[in-house]
Amino acid sequence: MHTSSLFIILGLLHCLYLTQAYISCSSKDFCPDDSKCCPFYTTEGILAYGCLPSNPHIKGPGSCCIEETLTESTTGCAGNFKCSLQNETKVCTLSTETETIVMMPRYQLFPIPDSKSIGNIYGFPIEYRERYDGRGPVAAYYSNKGPILTYTLPEYTHTEIQAVVIVVHGSGRNADEYLYSMNNVANLQKEFKPENILVIAPNFLAVEDGVYSVPVVMDDNTTIQSSPMKWNETDPIPHTWRYGANALDSFDEYSSYQVMDAIIEAMIEKYEKGNDGFRHLERIICAGHSAGGQFIQRWALTSNSYIWNDDKHSGRIHVHTNRISSIKKLRKIQMKRKLPDIIAVVANPRSYAYLDSRRWRNSTYFGEPTMKQKQNCKTYDSWEWGLANGGILTCPYKDETISMFHGNISKIAERYSKRNVIYFSGINDTEILHGSCEDDGFQGRFRRKRSLFFYESLNKLFGRYVHSRVEIENVGHDHSLIFEDPKAISALFQASSSN
């Protein structure tokens, strides 16, 4: 079969996939298939729709809240929670069998953006970003402004991008829904004009997702259909992309963490070159929830990309050799010009990669586990739970970092402490977890406790508090409600740089 014909077929299959992945609210408004369309009227009296996100941890269909006055946004509740008022505050409530009222915040919804941009999946070339020829590795992603390499489009020539938010999905790989939710957050924050915020949602695909082709759109608006990278979803552990594993098949030399490095490097290169739309870039926020939170914490710990601007140890080059000289030039420029802030946001992860072999015992003592504990769980400090040798998941990306520091884990930890990392934890994220001995036995019984334990371990390790931690009231394991909280928004968009 001719190559061009093959790509046409793959493109049709790709379109079929997208058609099945969305529900129609109207002839021009679409929501991710796990969401719900919520109609409302804008202040101009125009009918609009917002997408009510789903939460697999809460059973029920969800409720659209009907507002009493015209508004540019509307609200909604998860599962079987009902829209109600408590002390004149709009909340969601659920009456239990014991007549105890459970309360949680409402989802904040905004009109669906242009579905031509936000509803499409694209391909990001990890190496050949300027002259991609269809043969290199490509990562799938969504964006609220269309293809992110095409700054010649009106979205970029008439918009000053001041902040970029890269949000990593959870184990459901529902990057489209995460994009919608974070786009709502961009509308809620007051630090920048919403139209000046670019939201990117990488999609770490599995074979089971059935995405055979994605369009790579270049700066001159040319498009090449390409097969995106995929990761093993089940072997040797679930969701291997969370822990920096390499992709499958012909792209098995590329880590999931290189995707994050490459996207941020592309944004910074546009900023340094003064490209239209990116000249005023101030902040790049890298946020992940649940499995995405695991991804962000471990990536921030092991990344050697120059984007961090932290010390001489930075500078991994995972790009085509033709671009190495341009990267070196950029490094010379960055000595004269401040790079945009890089902020890593770790929300409600199931586990953390600890920075040394100590753990909490009985919530009071932080130190080495007993010999019996170590014998019963020999890999408790191996990757993905720590940086020690062993474990069943290979991660060359992590190994390269350890090798670069000549095996000195304490230097990796010290570098991590100087990076701008924020931990979000839902106060109600207290579901008792049952998994492996490495996290259940050494990190805590539920996610909120694990967050607290890890944050306190940093204090014990460095003799001072590093990074920052924010607890979100009345929220459990819910990415939309975590990121929409006012305290979270303040941390995301007003955090000062630690670089």
Residues 230 and 101 in one domain: no
User: Of 75, 109, 143, which closes a domain?
Assistant: 109
Structure tokens that stand for 486 in this block: 């006012």
User: Of 57, 86, 109, which closes a domain?
Assistant: 109
For residue 151, tell me if it sits in a domain.
Answer: yes
Residues 85 and 138 in one domain: no
Q: Is there a contact between 484 and 105 (Cβ–Cβ < 8 Å)? A: yes
Residues 81 and 201 in one domain: no
Residues 207 and 336 in one domain: yes
C-alpha dist (Å) from residue 106 to 86, 154, 383, 435, 488 = 12, 34, 37, 31, 15
Residues 197 and 246 in one domain: yes
For residue 2, tell me if it sits in a domain.
Answer: no
Structure tokens that stand for 268 in this block: 């910074």
Residues 146 and 279 in one domain: yes
Q: Is there a contact between 417 and 458 (Cβ–Cβ < 8 Å)? A: yes
Give the domain range for residue 498.
Answer: 113-499
Residues 298 and 362 in one domain: yes
For residue 14, tell me if it sits in a domain.
Answer: no
Residues 93 and 199 in one domain: no
For residue 261, tell me if it sits in a domain.
Answer: yes
Q: How far apart are CA 125 and CA 488, in angstroms?
A: 31
Question: How many independent structural domains does the chain possess?
Answer: 2
For residue 20, tell me if it sits in a domain.
Answer: no
Residues 185 and 54 in one domain: no
Residues 167 and 213 in one domain: yes
User: Of 65, 88, 109, which closes a domain?
Assistant: 109
Residues 333 and 400 in one domain: yes
For residue 491, tell me if it sits in a domain.
Answer: yes
Residues 306 and 403 in one domain: yes
C-alpha dist (Å) from residue 57 to 80, 139, 305, 340, 345 = 12, 28, 36, 36, 22
For residue 245, tell me if it sits in a domain.
Answer: yes
For residue 15, tell me if it sits in a domain.
Answer: no
**CATH number assigned to the domain comprising residue 288:** 3.40.50.1820
- The pLDDT profile of the chain, 499 residues, written as one tens digit per residue, is 443 343 334 343 444 334 347 899 998 899 998 899 999 998 888 899 999 998 988 989 999 998 767 778 899 999 999 999 988 889 999 987 766 778 999 999 999 987 556 778 999 999 866 667 888 899 999 999 888 876 555 555 557 899 999 999 999 999 999 999 999 999 999 999 999 999 999 999 999 999 899 999 877 778 899 999 999 999 999 999 999 999 999 999 999 999 999 999 999 988 988 777 888 999 999 999 999 999 999 999 999 999 998 754 444 444 333 333 344 444 454 445 688 999 999 999 999 999 999 999 887 899 999 999 999 999 999 999 999 999 899 999 999 999 999 999 999 999 999 999 999 999 999 999 998 999 999 999 999 999 999 999 999 999 999 999 999 999 999 999 999 999 999 999 985 544 4
Query: Is the pTM above the cut of 0.85?
Result: yes
Q: How far apart are CA 474 and CA 439, in angstroms?
A: 25
